[in-house]
Structure 1
C-alpha cells in the first residue's frame, strides 16, 4: 500500500508540474520553477515567526505569497530593469534564498527549521505523514490530498483559460490585438506555477519538482508538434516516470526522487536521439539515406 501512495503522489505532482512546464518551455521560462522553489524560503520563515507554528498550511501560505512575489519581481526586473529573463530569474531567487538563510540563522536557530527540511522533502515519507482528524480518525496521507487538490485546480485553470493561454504563449501580439491581457494571463500562469511548486516540494523535494517541471514537457516537445497532444503526452510521461522511478529505486535500494529524476532524464535523452523529426540519430540516418539516393541517381 505504501508503494501505491508514493506512486500516486508522484503522479499527481508530475502531471501538475508537467502541464504547467509545457507553457514555461514554450515561453522560454523553464527555470522559473527552480527559482520559486528556492525563493520561497523567507516566506516560510516569516510565516513561522508570525504564527509560531510549523504546520503545513501556515508554511504553504507563507511560501505561496513569496512564490507569487518572486514571479512579480522577475517580471519587474525583466521589463523595468531591461534585464534578460535568465538574469532576472538568477538575481531574484539568489537574494531571496540568501535572505531566507539569514532569517533562519538569526531568528530560528533554536528551532527544527532549516533550508534542507523545508525545501528538500522526501517522497518516501508520504505514507507515514498522515492526515488525522480531531477525533483521531486517519483519513490518509496528507500529501495525496494536497497534491490531488492542486492537480484539480491546475487542470481546471488550463481548461478554463486554454484559448487565452494558447494565444498568449504562441502569439502574444495577436492576443493583445484582440483585447486579451497578456500581462494578466502571464501572472495567472506564474501564480499557478507557484502554487504547484510550493505545494509539491515539501512532499517530493525541490529537485524532483524541477525535474518534473522541465523533463516531461521537454520530452513531449521533441515528440510532437501539436500542443494539445503535447499536454496529454506530458501527463502520461509523468505517470510513467513515477511508476518506473519508484520500482527502479526499490530494485537498487536508492533514492526514489533521484530514481524518478533519472528516468525523466533518460526519457529525454531517448527522445533527443530518436525523435522521429528532431532526433539526432534519426536525422543522421535520414541524411545518409538521402545522400545515398542522390549518389545512386547520378
Structure 2
C-alpha cells in the first residue's frame, strides 16, 4: 500500500511539473495541451514504458537455447531466484554494453523484465551476478518497476519541454510572450525539479531493494561485493553511451551509469560505500574473503 501511495504521489508531482511548464510556455492553452499530453503519456507509459526503455538500450531477450553458457547460467539463476522469491518468472534480457550494470522494468510482477549488460555477466562471478539479479527482483517484488520506468519517461518529456521553452520563449499571466527569462526559468528549473522528485524516492528504494535482494539470495556479501566491483569498473573508464544519451533513465540501474557522485542531494543513488555498509550489517561476516580488485583499463569488444 505504501509503494502504491508513493507511486501516485510521484506521478502526480511529475504531471504537475509538466503542466506547469506548459503554462509557462503557452499560458492557459499551453497548460491544457500539456495536461492532455501528460495524461496520454501516463497511459502509454503504463502499458509500454518497459518496451520503450528496453528499446533505448537495444536489449535482446535471452534465448534458453543460447549456445553461450554465460547466458544460459544467467537465465537459469534469474528463474531460480524468482521462484525462491515467489514471483512469476520475468523476461530476461542482455544489453551489449561494456559497463557492468543492470535494471528491472515492467508494470507489475506478471509483466516484469530484468536486463543485465554483458559487461556485468563477464566481469562479475556467478555469486555476485546472483546478488545483483536478486536486487532487481526485489524491485519487481516491491512493485518499484512501474514507478521507475514511468518516471524515466515523464522526466525525459519534461526535459524536452524545457528545451522547447528555451527556443520558443514563455508566456506571462496574460498569455503574452514573456521572453527569454521565462524560457530560461523553465529550461533550468523543470529538469531539476523532475530530478529532485525522482531522487527523493529512488534513493530510498535502492536501500530497500538491497535488503530485500539479500533476503532473496541469502547472500548479502555477494551483492556488496558486486556493488564494489561495478563502482570500480565505472571509475576505471567503462561508460554506457546509451545511458549518457538518456540520462532520465539513470535511476533505473543498480549503480548510477552516468558520472560518479557521492551520497548527495543530486545523486540518483546512495553512495556505494553506504550501501555496502548497510549490507554488511546484515551479514556480519564481510565478503567471505573474496577480493574486489578490478583492472582499470578498457578491454576490447566482446566476441
Range of TM-score over shorter length: under 0.3
Calculate the TM-score normalised by the size of structure 2: 0.27
Calculate the TM-score normalised by the size of structure 1: 0.27
Q: Larger helix proportion, structure 1 or 2?
A: 1
Computing the radius of gyration over CA atoms, which structure comes out larger, 1 or 2? 1
**Relative contact order: is structure 1 or structure 2 higher (C-alpha 8 Å, sep ≥ 6)?**
1
Q: Larger strand proportion, structure 1 or 2?
A: 2
